[in-house]
Amino acid sequence: MKRLKLPPWLVLLLPAILILSAVVLIPLVLSLYSSFTSYRLTRPDSIFNWVGLFNYEKAVTDAKFWAAFGRTVLLLTVALNLEMLLGLGLALMVSKVTHGQRLLRTMMMFPMMFSPILVGFQFKFIFNDNVGLVNNALQSLGITDRAIPWLVDADLAMFSIIFAEVWTATSVFGILILAGLYAIPRDPLEAAKVDGCTSWQSFRYVTLPFLMPFIYIAMAIRSLDVARAYDIVQVMTNGGPARRTELLWTLIGRTGYVDARMGYANAMGYISIFLAIFFTVYFFKKLTKSRKELGMGA
Amino acid sequence: MAQVHLRNVVKKYGVLEVVHAINLDIADSEFVVLVGPSGCGKSTTLRMVAGLEAISGGEVHIGGRVVNDLPPRERNISMVFQNYALYPHMSVRENLGFSLKISKRSQADIDKAVDEAAEILSLTPLLDRKPGALSGGQRQRVAMGRAIVRHPEVFLFDEPLSNLDAKLRTQMRVEIKKLHQKLKSTIIYVTHDQVEAMTLADRIVIMRDGHIEQIGTPLDVFENPVNTFVATFIGSPPMNLLDGVVKEGQIEFGDGTCLAVPPAYSTYDGQAVTFGVRADNIMPVGHALPRGEHMAEVEMTVDLTEPLGTETLLFTVLAGTEVQAKMLNPRPVRSGERMTFQIMLDKCHLFDADTGATLKK
C-alpha cells in the first residue's frame, strides 16, 4: 500500500489549519449557511431547507429589528461620548493629584473588575422602583413621593442602562487617557505657556491633540464592547418591558434561543456585525489620522 | 526691547537651594550668555526669567516691571527650547503663527508676521510642512522663528544648539549672531559650551553651583579669570594649573622645579599659589609668535600630540603635572621627543592655592 505523502509545508501548517477551521472557519461558514435556511433549533432537519435571502429580507423589513438597531446606535453614541468626557475629566483630575495617585489609579479600575452580570444585578437593585436605592433616596429627601419606574418607562430604562454602562466603562477611558497624559512631552506645553496660552488654550491646542490617539483607541475598543452589549441589558430589563430596551443582541439572542429561529437570528447577526465593523473602522481611521497629525507612525 | 534685572534671585526646591541670591543686570539689546557645567543653575535661572519656574526669593525685573507673579504670557518674552518644543500637529506656518493666533490678531497680521519671520530664517519653502518632516537644523530655525514673530522684549534661549551635530551647530551659531544684529533684541542664552558662550556673547555670566562666578566680556573672562574654575572652564584647551610656592622671585613646584615669578606678581613672597598658564603661552622654540618681554625656557618631553592643522597641541609634563602646549606652524613631532619650550610669563596667572581666587597683579 502506498502511503499518502503530503508536501512538508502543508504538514507544518496542518495543526493551525485544523484548529482555525474547528474554532473559526466551520462555525462561520455554518452560521452563514444557516442564515439562508429556515433552521430552527427545535427541528434540526430544517437546516437543509434553503430559503435563499428570505431571512435577510425579513430582517430589513422588520420594524422590531430596526428599532433595536437604532437603540444600539443610540446607546453607542450616548454611552461612548459620556464615557469619553467623564473619563477625560477623571484623568485630568487624577493627573493633577500629587499624593496618593497610585491608589487613585487602582481605585479607578475597580468598576472594570466586576462582571457585567453582577453590575447588571447591582443596578437592577439600585433602580428598582420599590426597594431600590434611588427611589428610596429621592423619597426620603422629599424630592418625590411616588415610585419612579426607572426600569419600566422606556426613556428611563434606557437612561438606567446607559448609567450602568457608563459606570462600568468610564474608567477604561480614564486609564487610557491618563496614559496619554503621561506620554505628553513637557516642552510643547511650556512653549505654549510662553506663547501666551491660558490653561484652557494649552489644553485645547496642545494637550488635546496629543490625547486624541488615546481617545480613539479607547473608542475603538469600547465601540466593539457596546455594539455587542447583551449582559447588562439582559439582567436589568431583559430587553423589556415590551421590547422598550431591546438591543440588537438581546433581540438576536431571543430569536435564536428562545424562539429557536436560528436561521433568522444568524441573518440578523450578520447584518449587525456590520455595525460593529463600521464603528471600528471609523475609529481606526480617526486614530491613524490623529497619529499622522502628530507625526507618529507612517 | 528691554532691560532685565535679577535682584537676589533665589530658587529652592523644598529645603534644597539651587540658585543662591544671584544679581545680574542686562542692558537693552545686550546678548548675555549664562554658561556653566550641568547642574550649575543656569537653566533654572532662565526658566525663572521665563516664568516657567516659580521664584523662591528676590525679584526679576523685565522692562522696568517686577514680573515675579506674572505668568509667562504676560512677561513679553519668548523662548527657544533645547528640544525645539514645536507643536507636532501643526504645520510650520501654524507653529510660527500660533502665538499671534492666541492673542487674537487678524489673519492678515499673522500672515504678514509669519512671512517676514520665514523670510529672515529662510523657512519660506518649508511653511506647509509638519515638524516631523524637517531636519534638526530646520526645526531649530522654526523654533527661533516662533520666538521672533511676536517681537518680544526679551529672547530666552535654553541650550538651543545642543541637539545639533557639530557642523550645523557652527552654522546656527552664526545665524543666531546675525539674527541678534538684525533684531537688536535683548537675549539671554544658556549653554554649557564655552565656545558658544565666547563666540556669541556681549557678556558672559559664568555660573557654578548656583552662584555667579564671573561676569564679563568674552575677552575679559578669558584673559582675567577671577578664579581657577573660570580659568579652566573658559578657553580650549583649559588653562594649565600647577601648585607651588613663591620663594625669592621664583615659584617652586612640588618636585623642586622652579620658574621665575611673573613680573606682575612680585609681591607674594612666601605664599602658596596655583600657577596658571594657557597652552597658547607655552610654545616650542621656533614655533611660537615672539611676544612678551619675560620668558622662561624649559625643556620637556612630548608625550602625545593632537594635530589640528594650523596648530598642534602638545601634551607634556611640567613639574610633575600634565600640561598642554601649543605649536604654531607645526612640524611632525614624535612622542618622547625632548623640546625646549618658552613660557610667556607676562601672560601667566597666579591664584591663591587655597581659595582658587586670582591674586591681584
Tell me the per-residue pLDDT of B121-154, one tens digit each, with 9 for 90 and over. 888 999 999 998 898 889 989 999 999 898 889 9
Residue A298 has pLDDT above 70, yes or no: no
Tell me which chain A residues have a C-beta less than 8 angstroms from the C-beta of B51. 193-194
Say how many domains are in chain B.
2
Task: Report pLDDT digits (tens) over B154-165.
Answer: 999 999 988 888
Average of per-residue pLDDT values in chain A: 88
Residue B61 bridge partners (DSSP): B5, B66
Domain boundary among B233, B259, B279: B233
Residue numbers of the domain that contains B300: 240-352
Q: Does residue B221 sit in the same domain as residue B269?
A: no
Inter-chain touch A191–B79, beta carbons under 8 Å: yes
Task: Report pLDDT digits (tens) over A47-58.
Answer: 888 888 888 988
Residue B292 has pLDDT above 70, yes or no: no
What is the DSSP annotation of chain A?
Answer: -PPP---HHHHHHHHHHHHHIIIIIHHHHHHHHHTTBT-BTTBGGGGG-B-TTHHHHHHHT-HHHHHHHHHHHHHHHHHHHHHHHHHHHHHHHHHH--SSHHHHHHHHTGGGGS-HHHHHHHHHHHT-TTT-HHHHHHHHTTS-SS---TTTSHHHHHHHHHHHHHHHHHHHHHHHHHHHHHHS-HHHHHHHHHTT--HHHHIIIIIHHHHHHHHHHHHHHHHHHHHT--HHHHHHTTT-STTTT--HHHHHHIIIIIS--HHHHHHHHHHHHHHHHHHHHHHHHHHHHHHHHTT---
For residues A297 and B216, the model is more confident at B216
* Region of residue A297 (left: phi > 0; alpha: psi -120 to 50; beta: else): left
Q: How far B216 CA lies from chain A's nearest CA (Å)?
A: 29
pLDDT value at residue B151: 87
Residue B167 has pLDDT above 90, yes or no: no
In a domain, B359, yes or no: no
**H-assigned helices in B224-298:** 228-233
In a domain, B295, yes or no: yes
Q: Does residue B209 sit in the same domain as residue B260?
A: no
Q: Does residue B328 sit in the same domain as residue B290?
A: yes
Tell me which chain A residues have a C-beta less than 8 angstroms from the C-beta of B81. 187, 190-191
Task: Report pLDDT digits (tens) over B318-359.
Answer: 888 999 999 988 888 888 999 999 898 888 999 999 899 998
Q: Does residue B42 sit in the same domain as residue B166?
A: yes
- Interface-testing mutation among B79, B86, B87, with chain A (most A C-beta atoms within 10 A): B87
In a domain, B169, yes or no: yes
Inter-chain touch B89–A193, beta carbons under 8 Å: no
Inter-chain touch A196–B52, beta carbons under 8 Å: no
Chains A, B: CB contacts within 8 A come to 71
Q: Does residue B285 sit in the same domain as residue B304?
A: yes
In a domain, B357, yes or no: no
Nearest to B103 among A190, A196, A210 (CB): A196
Res. B259 pLDDT band, cuts 50 70 90? confident
Average pLDDT of the segment spanning B298-314:
91
Residue of B nearest to A187 (CA): B85
Nine-digit cell at B294? 619675560
Q: How far A167 CA lies from chain B's nearest CA (Å)?
A: 33
Q: How far B42 CA lies from chain A's nearest CA (Å)?
A: 17
Nearest to A187 among B83, B98, B102 (CB): B83
Q: Does residue B178 sit in the same domain as residue B308?
A: no
Q: Does residue B278 sit in the same domain as residue B141?
A: no
Domain boundary among B176, B203, B233: B233
Q: Does residue B192 sit in the same domain as residue B68?
A: yes
Average pLDDT of the segment spanning B225-245:
92
Average pLDDT of the segment spanning A200-228:
90
Inter-chain touch B86–A190, beta carbons under 8 Å: no
In a domain, B361, yes or no: no
Residue A105 has pLDDT above 50, yes or no: yes
Inter-chain touch A195–B83, beta carbons under 8 Å: no
CATH number for the domain spanning B248: value is: 2.40.50.140
Average pLDDT of the segment spanning B232-239:
91
Average of per-residue pLDDT values in chain B: 90
Average pLDDT of the segment spanning A68-75:
90
Task: Report pLDDT digits (tens) over A149-158.
Answer: 888 887 888 8
Domain boundary among B177, B209, B233: B233
Q: Does residue B152 sit in the same domain as residue B283?
A: no
Res. B291 pLDDT band, cuts 50 70 90? low
pLDDT value at residue B44: 94
Res. A46 pLDDT band, cuts 50 70 90? confident
Residue B48 has pLDDT above 80, yes or no: yes
Q: What are the residue boundaries of the structural domains of chain A, listed by start? A: 60-293
DSSP state of B302: E
Q: Does residue B44 sit in the same domain as residue B123?
A: yes
Average pLDDT of the segment spanning B278-296:
81
Only one residue has cell 446607546, namely: A75
Inter-chain touch B89–A295, beta carbons under 8 Å: yes
Average pLDDT of the segment spanning B223-231:
93
Inter-chain touch B98–A205, beta carbons under 8 Å: yes
pLDDT value at residue B68: 92
In a domain, B271, yes or no: yes
Q: How far B143 CA lies from chain A's nearest CA (Å)?
A: 10
Q: Does residue B121 sit in the same domain as residue B51?
A: yes
Q: How far A184 CA lies from chain B's nearest CA (Å)?
A: 11
Res. A293 pLDDT band, cuts 50 70 90? confident
C-beta separation of B314 from B273 below 8 A: no
Tell me which chain B residues have a C-beta less than 8 angstroms from the C-beta of A209. 87, 89
Q: Which CATH class is domain A60-293?
A: mainly alpha
The torsion defined by the Cα of A17, A20, A23 and A29, in degrees rounded to 10, comes to: -90
Task: Report pLDDT digits (tens) over A223-270.
Answer: 888 888 888 888 888 877 777 888 888 888 888 888 888 899 999 999
Res. A297 pLDDT band, cuts 50 70 90? low
Residue A5 has pLDDT above 90, yes or no: no
Q: Does residue B108 sit in the same domain as residue B225?
A: yes
Res. A1 pLDDT band, cuts 50 70 90? low
